[in-house]
Amino acid sequence: MTASPLSLAHEISPAKPSTFPLNQWYVAALGWELKDRPVGRTLLNKSVVMFRTADGKVAALEDRCCHRALPLSDGTLEAGGLRCGYHGLLFNDAGKCIEIPGQDKIPSKAKVAAFHVVVKDQIVWIWFGSAEHPEPIGEPPAYDVHSSGDYLFDGDVYHYDAPYQLIHDNLMDLSHLGYVHLRTIGGNASIHMNAKMTVESDDNYVRVVRHMPGSVPPPTYVAAYPFKDTVDRWQEIEFHVSHLRIWTGAADAGTESLDNPKRGGFHMRGFHGVTPETETTSHYFWTIATNPKSNHEEVKAKVVQQTMMTFDEDKVVIESQYRNMCRFGERPMIDIHVDAGANRARRIIEKLCNSVS
């Protein structure tokens, strides 16, 4: 049973204050972002500064010096930690002030809040818990596509002037490819809209599978892989509360079983960390992995470039959609068959938000 159009419109209305599911690991950065300078970011309405210590450990603190409130992300990194750029207070990875220039005694209150943060498979995860669970209740998700050695990958970060669930909606419904992404991963719009689709879910997870046999390979696929003629395409989308995993690809028609998890052909495995910044803005951390047959770095570069083009196209659509929602206010929207996965994801978010006081 899908959410009613009226309830869906009300959920994502710009007039309604939003809350976010807590007791979750969220993506805060990609590992290679944190180098020789601090990175400041607002995540779930919390201002956070992230940095690497001298031994390579990643730390996350509240982005506010306890002395005169300058953002610590305006500071500099040293062997001992993060130094404020205003009066030089030095903070360690636990948020404790360990040095005040010109002053020997350090007040006990000279500290800032620290967040639990873990780097796993080159993804930086941060824990946002409830009052009941301030400590992590589990490990952050693994993503062995980055560490298995079977794929080449790269990625980047987008900032969206739109609520994070609109990005979920877009990623859960790939039928739009035939209309929005004609220059890259699109293909025949009719085949996309009529593709056989299965949807399964539980309390924290939604999986959407779409098969499109006998398709003409789209431009991105042709640029990256030596297909002979028509192809059998697949799209497998996994929604988790803090991120999505999307496995798309194709094989020469009739050469592979699309039900075989170890099928050959051309693969694109996307990681999509969608983290709210505020109720109306979002961070989108993405990577794309692929399996070139030859010219490995050249093909990887093509796939990454083409992927960025598709995300540029999505960003234009989603931000335009949200501006129009703000313009028209709480107006009902209808559902069609391709909305099944996105509606289930929204119900999971709503249930989790309501379960945490």
pLDDT digits (tens, 9 = 90+) for 33-42: 999 999 999 9
Please name the residues in contact with 109: beta carbons below 8 A apart, sequence gap of 6 or more.
Answer: 66
> Residue 268 above 60 pLDDT?
yes
What is the DSSP-derived secondary structure letter of residue 15?
A: T
Q: How far apart are CA 15 and CA 352, in angstroms?
A: 21
Mean pLDDT within 216-242 = 90
Percent of the chain with pLDDT over 90: 72
DSSP 275: E
Q: Are the C-beta atoms of 212 and 232 separated by less than 8 Å?
A: yes
Within the chain, what is the greatest distance between any pair of CA atoms? 75
Token pair 């960390």 is at which residue? 273
Which tens digits make up the pLDDT trace of 285-325?
999 999 988 889 999 998 999 899 888 989 999 999 999 99
Q: Is pTM beyond 0.85 here?
A: yes
Answer for the pair 238, 209: CB distance below 8 angstroms, yes or no: no
Residue 95 host element (H or E): none
CA–CA distance, 57 with 152 (Å, rounded to integer):
25
Measured in residues, the chain has a length of 357
- The Cβ of residue 320 has, within 10 Å, a number of other Cβ atoms equal to 11
pLDDT score, position 223: 83
Percentage above 70 pLDDT, the chain: 88
Classify 122 in phi/psi space as left (phi over 0), alpha (psi -120 to 50) or beta. Answer: left
Give me the pLDDT at residue 222, please: 85
Beta strands in the chain (DSSP E): 24-30, 39-43, 46-52, 58-62, 76-78, 81-83, 90-91, 97-99, 117-120, 123-128, 152-160, 196-201, 205-215, 231-240, 243-252, 266-276, 282-290
The pLDDT value recorded for residue 356 is 66
Q: Distance between CA atoms of 157 and 274, rounded to whole angstroms? A: 10
Which residue has 């450990």 as its token pair? 57
- State the Cα–Cα distance between residues 204 and 201, nearest whole angstrom: 8
Q: Does 84 or 221 have the greater pLDDT score?
A: 84
Domains of the chain: 24-128 (2.102.10.10), 152-355 (3.90.380.10)
Least confidently predicted of 43-52, 92-101, 146-155, 294-303: 294-303
- Give the pair of three-digit tokens for residue 105: 């005694």
Q: What is the pLDDT of residue 12?
A: 43
pLDDT for 179 beyond 60: no
Distance from C-alpha of 273 to C-alpha of 158, rounded to nearest angstrom: 10
DSSP E strands in 182-312: the ranges are 196-201, 205-215, 231-240, 243-252, 266-276, 282-290
pLDDT, tens only, 61-112: 999 999 999 999 999 999 999 999 999 999 999 999 999 999 999 999 999 9
Interval 331-348 mean pLDDT: 88
Strand partners, 124: 29, 119
**How much is the CA Rg of the chain, to the nearest whole Å?**
22
Q: What is the Cα–Cα distance from 340 to 73, expressed in whole angstroms?
A: 41
